[in-house]
Chains A and B, each alone.
Chain A
Amino acid sequence: MLTAIVLLPTAVAALLLCLPRSAPRPLFPTAWVATTAAELALTVMVWAGYRADGGIQYETRARWIPSAGISYHVGVDGLSLPLVAVTCVLFLACALYAWRETRRVREFAALFLFLQTTCLGLFVALDLILFFVFFDLSIVAMYFVIAGWGHKGAARAALKFFLYTFIGSLALLLGFIGLYLAADPHTFDIVELTTANPLAGRSAYGALVLLAIAVGLAVKTPTVPFHTWLPPAHTDAPAAGSAILAGVLLKMGTYGFLRIAIPVLPDAWRDHALVFVVVGVVSVLYGALVALAQTDFKRMVAYTSVNHMGYIVLAIGAAGAVGAGQEEARRLAVTGSVFQMVSHGLLTGALFLLSGVLYERGRTYEMSAYSGVAGRAPVFAALTGVAAFASLGLPGFSGFIAEFQILTGSLGPEPVATGLAVLGILLTAGLFLRALQQIFLGPLRLPAAAPGADRPFPDIRRHEGLAIVPLLALGVVLGLAPRFVLDVIEPASRTVLELLAR
């Protein structure tokens, strides 16, 4: 089942590439939307058949390179299932959003479908090498998305993105090899490594492996100071690419912490949890402050991702403070961190698509070029307002449920750090309100028309609305009735903490 979900998009992508470019144009977006919708339906079926407290399910294991302890091993549990679901939702939204894409549609659709395979594959992978392969392939696919369909500075931004995260992935590989060598018998299987806990009692070796893995994942997350690839990549990526980059690719980093770093290296994690707490708080505050100083809307949203991912790092760091007791609080923090991944995926995805709408109309992200847009495009203004308030953690949206759990849960184990991190939610409120006021309120002013084209400012079109509204609606559903997701996450976060306490 999972294998089908993972491979179906690539199969369709290959099929699309076999078709001649001269095939009727609507064929490609239709096939793309149909595939992503089918993916979502399959994921819903998986979710329906998932037993909340059953551990890893839908497991498949096949021999791949047995001599090196590598196997094709996939499965889902409470950590990965919500992320698989959010991935499918976001890819469907992007397919709808790109309905009117005119530049090399066939390749664009095929690339996104391939990207979907890599993302889903990463989340269901239970083998380190499989994880690494999907990790790297996602970078490759995203590189082509940015370089091929981005804005003016895209080639350079894409190269920076690729090299930076690729170097990060090499550190990750180094860490994986360290784990492989430490395990007896040698294996790359995550489940076996988790049970074996190969580095128990070898603190120096464990610390080095954790360092390698943490650097690799921190680049991807990204945390301060490894985040500088993110703003240019976002600013120059096409809207759908940004939505996937922020909504799905960033989660690979934090998911890796919860899937690999904590369960396989519990001793090292407990010893060095404080590092993650500090990195988390710094990311929260630094990301929010730098975002506050931005004048470019998309760049600002990009920096808020650093802030939002910082909460996750803070929470998983606080979860490592085993000595402090606070069992219940730490469980809440871990659950909150997984929920934040889901929530951030939906809300930031929506914000990036909305910024794409803004750019498509005005040909600039510069906030000071706009004013009073609410008069011309009320629905667009309302949607952006809702997305911004959701992103600043307003109750009633998923962001609040996530951040409340993270902050409430982290305060007990790490009072000082959390006390500082709370300021982040005030800063994000400030920066989003400022942006809303600049772009949407006040007297109407639109950027000077792009050369050669008189650009009116039409309101949200149907395909854009179909892409964005469901994301926000899901944000509301998760904000008001989070139980159906929490029921899946909570047993998994309990397991993570049990593994950590070994």
Chain B
Amino acid sequence: MSALLWALVALPLTVGTLLAVAGRPAERYAPGVAVGTAVAALGIAVAVAFGHPRVEAPLLEGLPAGLAVDGLSGFMVVTVTAVTAAVLLFSVADIGPGEARARFFGLMLLFGGAMLTTVTATTLPVLLMAWEVMGATSWALIGYWWRDPERGAAADTAFLTTRAADLGLYLAAGAALASGQAGSLALDDLADATGAWSAVITAGVIAAAFGKSAQLPFSFWLSRAMQGPSPVSALLHSATMVVAGAYLLLRLEPLLAQSGWGGQVVAWTGAVTAVLLGLVAVAQTDLKQLLAASTCAQIGFMVLAAGAGAVTGGTLQLIAHAAAKSLAFLVAGAWLTSLGAKALPALGGAARRHRTAGVTFTVAALALAGVPPLSLWAAKDVVLAGALEDNAALYVVGLAGAVISAVYSAKALWFVWQPVAVSDDREQPQPQPQPQPQPQSLPNAARLPLATLAVACVALTVTSFPPARNAVERVLGGAPQPAPHTWEFALSGALAVAVSAAVWIRGPQLLALPGRITALASDWLGLETAARTLLVHPVLRLADALAVFDDRVLDRAAEGTARGSVRLARWTNAQAERLVDGTVESVAGGARALGRWARRPQTGQLHQYLAQAVAAFTVLAVVLVLVR
């Protein structure tokens, strides 16, 4: 069984790496190999979900690497592999033979494999490794069409934003080690830390999770991430990347609960994100942007669940959302490929022309809207039951978020079911190298995943009601969870139906909000602008200033010292040298002068010598007399 667990993570990572490295020669086989790998991984995932294996290997001193599958991880690995397989199958049709398929499928497998490692990791180092590899792979996938500079910039934004949040995990790891109580960095032990270190761990984990899950204030990167191919969005928004944050919070719910404040922060951020990003979704005119904002909002419910301790609800919401959102993105991708349009007005009639796509998209949108009897309706109520037990205000905000999700979902549906395209001159031409024109009907490789996911959207409803819910709860373990009352199901269902119907009948004109609010919402609350103005630009300016300082001050100081030495040398040469030499010369000159003086008495005349001797003896006699 433990070999299977190793295989589960190693298979997609290895095959993905090989495909991506092989590149062009592997182009032809890439789709088949990738889909086969994903299906095999799904099989392994189901096996380990029942087997609950646990493996460990030494990594760093005292910090082992560990993988394990428990209840939560079991659900996650099955969800991840199932959605990956469906998306890859769809990609066979969507990413045509003219594209770099080996790179695409290889990176997608790496992406999925990193997520599998993330959800099975039992220690922080392994989790962080997989977590960051996932971020880097998302960079490569978002920038897949790299010739377009805007897509490259979008990939940079996504990676840098999530990595900024990831710093939290680095700090959390350091704090856990420093605390001594969680010294092995096992995820289960993190809640044992105490004092200030515990606060650092909690804050770090929360920041990293918010960044990855595109919760406020990090949401903007998800908008930019839409620049990638549609299958990438489908995978990134449903079962990998963004849900990794929600997963981490659900996994570390005991840590949040133990901290005293972490749960509140998380729950409220989730609830507020559900409402605000829901409004952002309402304001979008581009289908992919609408779905992206809706992802933030829906993940908000999972985050709320983690904060409120409703782990079961959060897990159910995560699984149900994965099915609905991957389906919605796949259909949006199919339309983008076949119609070349993703702006809502241009998509008028899309659902009528492509029946399979239209029907399955409707299922996905209704599920997102929370319309009964689809899965997200009930799952959300299990989450909100946890919120209600925690705090009535939290429940109300959450319910408002649910109502808003009905608004944007119905809005999207209204557009795609219009008889003809609504004329709209704001429609942007697609700069993308268009893949070759697709036949009107979807290929079977694309139909199968759509149909499967649509069935899942319906079938997963069962899991939110007893006895299935009790079984889920048992598998997840942990404390007993609050169960929603019947009126909660009825209330949210009725609200969703009523609001959806109202939007459907009145059309999107209903949503005439004041211009400034709409503008703000359609710009994703101006978050990216804020991040650029407040963080990126000051850092870049500081960097420039320091570079100037480096050149003008530090470097010049060193050069100045060198120049000073040369000047000192010249001065020594000119001044000191002359002084020293002058001294020597003057000593010589003095000696010569003395010599001249000494030669004076030597006249050679006897009478003068006699006079000198008399004088000398006189002096000598005087001295002797005086000394005596």
**Could you list which residues of chain A lie within 8 angstroms of chain B, going by C-beta atoms?**
160, 163-164, 224-225, 227-229, 286, 289-290, 292-294, 326, 328-329, 331-332, 335, 372, 374-375, 378, 382, 389, 394-396, 400-401, 404-405, 407-413, 415, 418-419, 422-423, 425-427, 429-430, 433-434, 437, 440-443, 482-483, 486, 490
Contacts of B61 in A (CB 8 A): 328, 331-332, 335, 486, 490
What residues of chain B lie closer than 8 Å to A482, measured between beta carbons? 59-60
Tell me the smallest distance from the CB of A202 to a CB of chain B, in Å.
31
Q: Are A434 and B173 in contact (CB under 8 A)?
A: no
Known: A228-B550, A374-B146. 11 other contacts (CB 8 A): A229-B558, A328-B61, A331-B61, A332-B61, A407-B173, A422-B170, A426-B160, A430-B156, A434-B156, A442-B148, A442-B149
Q: Which of chain B's residues has its CB closest to A286's CB?
A: B546
The reply to whether the CB of B98 lies closer than 8 angstroms to some CB of chain A is no
The docked-state distance in angstroms from the alpha carbon of A328 to that of B543 is 35
Which 3 interchain pairs have the tightest Cβ spacing?
A411-B174, A412-B178, A395-B129
Distance in angstroms from A214 CB to nearest chain B CB is 18
Chain A contact surface mostly: helix
Q: Is the CB of A292 within 8 A of B543?
A: yes
> What are 19 A-to-B residue pairs whose CB atoms are below 8 Å?
A164-B558, A227-B554, A289-B543, A328-B62, A329-B178, A394-B136, A396-B133, A401-B60, A405-B60, A408-B173, A413-B178, A422-B167, A429-B160, A434-B156, A441-B143, A441-B146, A441-B147, A442-B149, A443-B149
Residues of A within 8 A of B159 (CB): 429, 433
Residues of A within 8 Å of B170, CB to CB, are 404, 407-408, 422, 425
Residues of A with C-beta under 8 A to B149? 437, 441-443
Known contacts A229-B558, A401-B60, A433-B160; is A411 also within 8 Å of B132 by CB? no
Inter-chain contacts of A292 with B (CB < 8 A): 539-540, 543
CA distance A166 to B465 in the complex (A): 77
Which B residues, 52 to 82, have Cβ-Cβ distances below 8 Å to chain A? 58-63
Residues of A within 8 A of B447 (CB): none
Q: Could you tell me the distance in whole angstroms from the C-beta of B440 to the nearest C-beta in chain A?
A: 33
Nearest CB in chain B: distance from A343 CB, A: 14
Q: For chain B residues 154-185, which have a beta carbon within 8 Å of chain A?
A: 155-156, 159-160, 163-164, 167, 170-171, 173-175, 177-178, 183
Measured CB to CB, the closest approach of chain A to B140, in angstroms, equals 8
Q: Which of B160, B164, B171, B546 contacts A419 (CB 8 A)?
A: B171
How long is the Cα–Cα vector from A164 to B558 in the complex, in angstroms? 8
Of the candidates A225, A293, A413, the one whose C-beta lies within 8 Å of that of B547 is A293
Are A409's CB and B128's CB within 8 A? Answer: no
- Complex alpha-carbon distance, A294 and B551, angstroms: 11
B125 touching A404 by the CB < 8 A rule? Answer: yes
- Bound-complex Cα distance A70 to B136 (A): 52
The reply to whether B146 and A440 contact each other, CB–CB distance below 8 Å, is yes
A426–B562 Cα distance when bound, in Å, is 36
Contact of B175 among A372, A405, A411, A427 (CB under 8 A): A411
Distance (whole angstroms) from the CB of A311 to the closest CB of chain B: 12
**Known contacts A289-B539, A394-B136, A419-B171: does B128 contact A228 (CB below 8 Å)?**
no
| CB within 8 Å of A: which B508-533 residues | none
Q: Interface residues of B toward A: which range?
A: 35 or more
Q: Which residues of A contact B558 (CB under 8 A)?
A: 160, 164, 228-229
Let me know if A404 and B128 touch, CB within 8 A.
yes
Contacts of B539 on A, CB cut-off 8 Å? Answer: 289, 292, 427, 430
Q: Across the interface, name the chain B residue whose C-beta is closest to A371.
A: B149
**Is B373 an interface residue, CB under 8 A from the partner?**
no
Contacts of A440 in B (CB 8 A): 146
Most buried by A among B60, B139, B542: B60
Q: Is B555 in contact with chain A by the CB < 8 A criterion? A: yes
CA distance A29 to B187 in the complex (A): 53
Residues of A within 8 A of B178 (CB): 326, 329, 411-413, 415
What 0/1 readout, one digit per residue, does chain B (99-131) give for beta carbons within 8 Å of chain A? 000000000000000000000000001001110
Q: How far is the CA of A425 from the CA of B167 in the complex (A)?
A: 8
Chain B minimum-CB-distance residue to A325: B180
Q: A403 → chain B, closest Cβ, in Å? A: 8
Q: Is A395 touching B547 in the complex (CB atoms < 8 A)?
A: no
Shortest distance in angstroms between A114's beta carbon and chain B's nearest beta carbon? 27
Q: List B contacts of A329 (CB < 8 A).
A: 174, 177-178
Q: How far is the CB of B119 from chain A (nearest CB, A)?
A: 16
Give Cα A227–Cα B554 distance, bound, in whole angstroms. 9
Select B147's contact among A227, A372, A404, A490, beta carbons within 8 Å: A372
- Least CB separation from B131: chain A residue: A395
Contact call A437/B59, Cβ cutoff below 8 A: no
Closest chain B residue to A386, Cβ basis: B21
Question: Known contacts A228-B555, A400-B132; is A410 also within 8 Å of B547 by CB?
Answer: no
When distances are taken between beta carbons in the complex, the residues of chain A under 8 Å from B146 are 374, 440-442
Q: In B258-292, which residues have CB < 8 Å from any A CB?
A: none
In the bound complex, residues from chain B placing their C-beta under 8 Å from that of A412 are 174-175, 177-178
Distance, CA A160 to CA B125, complexed state (A): 43
Q: A19 to B23, alpha carbons, bound, how many Å?
A: 45
Among A227, A409, A442, point to the contact of B174 (Cβ < 8 A).
A409
User: Separation in Å of the B120 CB from the closest CB of chain A?
Assistant: 15
Closest to A440 in B: B146
The reply to whether B547 and A442 contact each other, CB–CB distance below 8 Å, is no
Q: Is B577 engaged at the interface, CB distance under 8 Å to the other chain? A: no
Assembly CA distance A396 to B130 (angstroms): 9
Q: Which residues of B contact A160 (CB under 8 A)?
A: 558-559, 562
Asked if B544 is at the interface (CB within 8 A of a chain A CB), the reply is yes
Inside 8 A of A490's CB, which chain B residues have their CB?
61
A486 near B174 with CB under 8 A, answer: no
Q: Are B132 and A395 in contact (CB under 8 A)?
A: yes
A409 vs B173: C-alpha distance when bound (angstroms):
9
**Complex interface: chain A residues within 8 A of B540 (CB):** 292-293
The answer, among B174, B177, B543, B554, for a CB contact under 8 Å with A228, is B554
Residues of chain A within 8 A (CB-CB) of B132 are 394-395, 400
CB distance from B535 to the nearest CB of A (A): 10
Q: Are B147 and A442 touching (Cβ within 8 A)? A: yes
Taking the closest CB of chain A, its distance from the CB of B162, in whole angstroms, is 10
- B151 — nearest CB in chain A belongs to which residue? A441
Bound: A329/B546 CA distance, A: 32
Using a CB-CB cutoff of 8 Å, which residues 168-212 of chain B contact chain A? 170-171, 173-175, 177-178, 183
Instruction: Tell me which of A394, A404, A427, A434 has the highest count of chain B C-beta atoms within 10 A of its own C-beta.
Output: A404
Which B residues from 525 to 579 make CB contacts under 8 A with A? 539-540, 542-544, 546-547, 550, 554-555, 557-559, 562
Contacts of B62 in A (CB 8 A): 328, 332
In the assembly, what is the distance between CA of A164 and CA of B59, in Å? 40
Q: How far, in Å, is A238 (CB) from chain B's closest CB?
A: 22
* Neighbouring B residues of A419 by C-beta, 8 Å: 171
The reply to whether B133 and A332 form a contact with Cβ atoms under 8 Å apart is no
Contact of A375 with B544 at beta-carbon distance under 8 Å, contacts A422-B171, A429-B160 already known:
no
Name the residue of chain B whose CB is nearest to the CB of A413. Answer: B178
Q: Enumerate chain B residues within 8 angstroms of A294, measured Cβ to Cβ.
A: 547
Contact A411 B177 (CB under 8 A): yes
Q: How far is the CB of B137 from chain A (nearest CB, A)?
A: 10
Give B146's nearest chain A residue, CB to CB.
A441
B152 an interface residue at 8 Å Cβ cutoff?
Answer: yes
Given the complex of chains A and B, what is the CA–CA distance between A437 and B152 in angstroms? 6
Are the CB atoms of A375 and B147 closer together than 8 Å? yes
CA distance A415 to B179 in the complex (A): 12
**Measured CA separation A483–B13 after assembly (Å):** 20
Instruction: Tell me which residues across on chain B come within 8 A of A427, comparing CB atoms.
Output: 539
Complex: chain A residue closest to B555, CB-CB: A228
Q: How far is the CA of A421 from the CA of B622 in the complex (A)?
A: 91
Q: Assess whether A411 is in contact with B171, with CB atoms less than 8 Å apart.
A: yes
Q: Is B33 an interface residue (CB 8 A)?
A: no
Judging by beta carbons under 8 Å apart, are B59 and A395 in contact? no
Q: Does B421 interact with chain A (Cβ within 8 Å)?
A: no
Chain A residue nearest in CB terms to B134: A395
Q: In whole angstroms, how far apart are the Cα atoms of A292 and B153 in the complex?
A: 16
Among candidates B23, B163, B543, residue contacting A429 with C-beta atoms closer than 8 Å: B163
Q: Which one of B133, B171, B546, B550 has the greatest number of beta carbons of chain A within 10 Å?
A: B550
